[in-house]
Amino acid sequence: MAPEREWAVIVSPYAWAASLKGDGSLAGFDTDVDVPFSDVLKHLDFVVMGNVEITNGSWGVYFDAQHVRTSQDEQLLANELDLGIKTTSLSAGAFLKAYEAELGGQTVFNRPRTISIEPTAGIRWTKLEGTVHFLGLSAQKSADWVDPFIGLRVNADLTDRWNLFSSVDVGGFDVGSKFTINAQSYLGYRTTM
């Protein structure tokens, strides 16, 4: 295990290419959900996301937030149907650096370039809001839930400034959802201020 370092706060705004696949249920109707990234991008109105991590190099905590707003207009029976969807996700977790190996060279922060593997656990709050406007009428529905999760993170310094971060977690466990799988990869660029 790496020697303990000074505490650091790492702020990482990011953008991502999202897709959604799974099962959904609304008002007693079950359906398959399959929304590819191209559809999300086409209907995207607003997005903000970021991550804050507090770590001493051996372990730490993190907070992650994502808010996405999409809308689309469709023609239904010669009338316009407007659909708006907001998705908000807030995660908080802790991690422990279980394995770390040096890759040679230094990062822009004068630390050795490394690859690390970090088990993680936490909770994720999710809220979905949908609004439909049709024939002068409006309907709105929302749902929110909290899921515990466990997972694994891998962080690799590709160069002194570029790094690759990947994580996968499973959750739900019949607490908020039946079962969830969340996988993400980020290509990051470090800068000094």
Q: What is the pLDDT of residues 184-193, one digit of tens each?
A: 888 888 887 6
Tens of pLDDT, residues 16-47: 666 666 665 555 556 566 667 777 777 778 88
Q: Are 40 and 18 in contact (CB under 8 A)?
A: yes
Query: pLDDT grade, residue 152 (50/70/90)?
Result: very high
Long-range contacts, stretch 138-142, CB < 8 angstroms, 24+ apart: 141/26, 141/27
User: pLDDT per residue over 45-72, tens digit each?
Assistant: 888 889 999 999 899 999 999 998 888 7
Q: What pLDDT is recorded for position 171?
A: 95
Compute the Cα dihedral for 111, 112, 114, 116 and give only its sign. negative
Measured between alpha carbons, how far is 186 from 50 in angstroms, rounded to an integer? 12
Amino acid at 59: W
| Partner residues linked to 149 by β-bridges | 122, 171
Q: Do residues 50 and 3 touch, judged by C-beta distance below 8 A?
A: no
| β-sheet bridge partners, residue 61 | 54, 94
Tell me what pLDDT residue 34 has: 65
Structure tokens given for 1: 């295990």
- Structure-model confidence comparison of residues 70 and 119, the more confident one: 119
In the three-class reduction of DSSP (H, G, I as helix; E, B as strand; rest coil), residue 177 is classed as coil
Identity at 125, one-letter amino acid code: W
Closest CA to 117 of 161, 153, 165, 141: 153
Q: Rounded to whole angstroms, how far apart are CA atoms 138 and 140?
A: 7
Asked if 141 and 127 count as a contact pair (C-beta separation under 8 A), the reply is no
User: What is the pLDDT at residue 12?
Assistant: 84
E strands, the chain, are 8-13, 20-26, 29-35, 44-55, 59-76, 79-96, 99-106, 112-134, 137-157, 162-171, 180-189
Q: Find the radius of gyration of the CA atoms of the chain.
A: 20
Residue 180 has pLDDT above 80, yes or no: yes
